[in-house]
Amino acid sequence: MAKKKTVFECCECGYKSAKWMGKCPACGSWESFIEIKEEKTSTKTSSTPSKVLKFDEIEKEEIEKFSSNDSELDLVLGGGIVPGSLVLIGGSPGVGKSTLMLKLAGNINKKVLYVAGEESPGQIKLRAQRLGIKNKNLFLMPEIVVENIIEEIKKGYDLVIIDSIQTIYSQEIQSAPGSVSQVREATFELMRIAKENKIPIFIIGHITKEGSIAGPRVLEHMVDTVLYFEGEASRELRILRAFKNRFGSTSEIGIFEMTKQGLVSAKNKNFFSKKALPGSAITVILEGSRPIVLEVQALVSESYGVPKRSVTGFDLPRLNMILALLEKKLNLPFNQYDVFVNVTGGIKINEPAADLAIIAAITSSFRNRPISKETVFLGEVSLVGDIRDVPGLEQRLKEAANLGFKKAIVPTKPLEEPLKCYEVKEVEKLIEWM
């Protein structure tokens, strides 16, 4: 037996209440409640209970992945696409989610259904042409009703793309498309069909201002894999990061570049210049299994007033710590200087291995003396000024050697030296070396 009941729901977080409220007690949003008619099913449903299995007798599920024919996407997915998996691609508008998915649809030799809820077929065709898409087995469905999409998926596809979840709605629910209950219901229906028919489904989701996909992470719990596509509209570099993955590690990243022909792998792109200028130093960061050689830049200039500190791609508290250390250990008067730090290429440094390079760049700018561009700097600095080892040192050094670097400043020499290594154990020694 079903009966209709009126409830109010917060469009930001999905909190439900019997009466309208000005402020949501769960997420604090103002005037976010809308009235919805909720179908209330009787609790006395007759479902047969699941059989309990003896753990020893359960057969292991073999996961067979197939390649997306895109090495960057495969890497982030953990080796390829898993049949029956639900993958969420999140990112801010304009970052390139539709481009990435259309490229996937065109790259694999399989029957693909692209559900377009946002753009017209003509617009998508234009983009497909620009990307040079040739898949003869690619089908486009301009549709926003989830029940109709499910019916179409049942006809047999190898892969389905939903662009985007915020435009899709279920006729069973009364709230507006994009609201938390709609997004949740549509995703649930898609999850069911994906598992039943063993079809991988990619769902595109826009990130709201607050950084979540349609409310607080409602989707992240439901799907198998969550990938975030990051990048600034003003820069070409895009990074695809796994946030959750039931079928692989979340430490790998994919690097792309947005070009006229769409997204291409930026694997062979260099994030440094070989010109020796004051304030520039080279380091190697490690993103998952991938070493990236990077240039860090610093500008130290005399301050008029309160000294400014500013960072792009680096952690501001960490910069403050490094400056305090340099002031204390080396008597450098940074309290009278503005310090700006920038990591090139739009990459963010999330590990302390780059500390030494940051110090080298700051000191080089302060003294207005360039550092030889044949050298890479690797090492974490501690609060007391000693320099600590970094994980994956040999792998980082190998990459630097491959790219033509000749010398490395490291905390401890590795067994094998792909390039000439100099040991530096304290900040003072680094400055002496320079």
Ligand X SMILES: Nc1ncnc2c1ncn2[C@@H]1O[C@H](COP(=O)(O)OP(=O)(O)O)[C@@H](O)[C@H]1O
Residue 127: CA atoms inside 13 Å, Cβ hemisphere, count?
Answer: 19
Of 156, 152, 224, 157, the C-alpha closest to 187 is: 224
Question: Which alpha helices (H) appear in 198-315, and where do they start and end?
Answer: 218-222
Q: How far apart are CA 255 and CA 276, in angstroms?
A: 26
Q: Pick from Mg ion, ligand X, none: which does 91 bind, CB < 5 to 8 A by kind?
A: ligand X
Q: Is 275 in the site for ligand X (CB under 6 A)?
A: no
Region of residue 214 (left: phi > 0; alpha: psi -120 to 50; beta: else): left
Q: Is 93 in the site for ligand X (CB under 6 A)?
A: yes
Q: Is 313 in the site for ligand X (CB under 6 A)?
A: no
With respect to ligand X, which residue has the nearer C-beta, 237 or 387? 237
Provide the minimum distance between the beta carbon of 93 and ligand X in the complex, in angstroms, as a whole number.
Answer: 5
Q: Residue 193 contacts by C-beta under 8 Å, 6 or more apart in sequence? A: 150, 153, 154, 199, 201
Site size for ligand X, by CB under 6 A?
12
Site for ligand X in 183-242 (CB under 6 A): 233
Q: Is 404 in the site for ligand X (CB under 6 A)?
A: no
Could you tell me which stretch among 57-65, 89-97, 285-293, 418-426 binds ligand X (CB under 6 A)?
89-97
With respect to ligand X, which residue has the nearer C-beta, 99 or 179? 99
Q: Is 168 in the site for ligand X (CB under 6 A)?
A: no
Could you tell me which stretch among 71-79, 95-103, 308-316, 344-352 binds ligand X (CB under 6 A)?
95-103
Of 189, 186, 192, the C-alpha closest to 205 is: 186
Q: Is 97 in the site for ligand X (CB under 6 A)?
A: yes
Judged by the rule CB under 5 A, the positions of this chain that interact with Mg ion are 98
Q: How far apart are CA 240 and CA 91, in angstroms?
A: 9
With respect to ligand X, which residue has the nearer C-beta, 93 or 391? 93
Q: Can you read off the two tokens belonging to residue 424?
A: 């530096």
With respect to Mg ion, which residue has the nearer C-beta, 127 or 217? 127
Cis peptide before 382 (omega within 30 of 0): no
Q: Is 95 in the site for ligand X (CB under 6 A)?
A: yes
Could you tell me which stretch among 16-24, 58-66, 88-96, 273-281 binds ligand X (CB under 6 A)?
88-96
Beta strands in 272-314 (DSSP E): 280-287, 290-302, 309-312
Q: Can you read off the two tokens belonging to residue 287?
A: 């993103």
* Chain residues that interact with ligand X, rule: CB under 6 A: 91, 93-99, 130, 233, 258, 260
